[in-house]
Structure 1
Amino acid sequence: MAAGTTSTPSQGIRCSFCDWEGHTEASCNFRENAAKAQKAKTADHRKERRGGKKKAQTAQEASEDVEASANIAEYAGKASVALSASDRSSWLSSLAAANWNTDTGATSHMMPHRHWFTSYSPHIIPVRLANDTIIYTAGMGSVMFEPVLGGSKAPVVVLHDVLHVPQLG
């Protein structure tokens, strides 16, 4: 190293997870916290699935809560499901495409509309998109919506741990 130059090991290093400079993905605190949160979420989901009779009772209570709050809560639009690839083009031109699209292959459901959340808490979490860009959440909460399947309304669905990502809007 030439005299008069200083260099730190972290200069020029950029994390591929959070896109911040000064560390690698292996030492990223955001990645570590996201992994811990996902493990806790998975553990909670497993406990919920094992609930049996208690789970059925809780579902009934949740259904009653939804009915009671139907007059005051704004539903997250309508939703529909494309059952096959041939349905995709008609679905994309429907009103449902502008309202809600659940992605069952995603790690978490995400939406840009803060006003659709029925419960909410601020959380800043990096989200890596399919094109490798990183965007950040503003919060997380629960969303209620009324799905439409084959033109008929289905029971109200409540999704929990939905990420609020304003940049998706």
Structure 2
Amino acid sequence: MNDFVSLWSYLSATPLLWLTATIAAYLIAESLAARLGNPPWANPVLMSVLLLSPVLVLTKTDYGTYFEGAQFIHFLLGPATVALALPLWDNRATIQKSVIPILCALVVGSTVAAGSAIVLAQFFDLPLSVLLSLAPKSTTAPVALGISEAVGGIPTLTAVLVILTGI
């Protein structure tokens, strides 16, 4: 028990606590999803958010403090997104043959995704900050977080929305 108290004292005084908590939550969620047969509703990222949220509330930890520790994971989202370019490069011949339909689908899909979110937010009279957090939800997480932050949205809300709409 003394070892646990010593470990807790050390971790709670450093940003490592929230990095450790985030990784632990993800590993637990991934294990649970695998045991359940990986159904779409058991998305490990979503379950990680559901596991971490009560911990943050119970420990009265604000997002800034949490993010200070978990920012390394946020940093890694950028290179992970760039890594998506490799399969695109490998399939460039197919993409070049279908560039017009792909561009049309991207324009229509992006417009409908962002537009429907904005129209629904206005219909329900949601605050502007929520509306600005909804608009970029259909992009990849690092892009959505960057857009949300740049336009005055709430990046944490956008992150949750990206996860929920990705299921």
Bigger share in helix: 2
Bigger share in strand: 1
- Settle same-fold status: TM greater than 0.5: no
TM-score (norm 1): 0.31
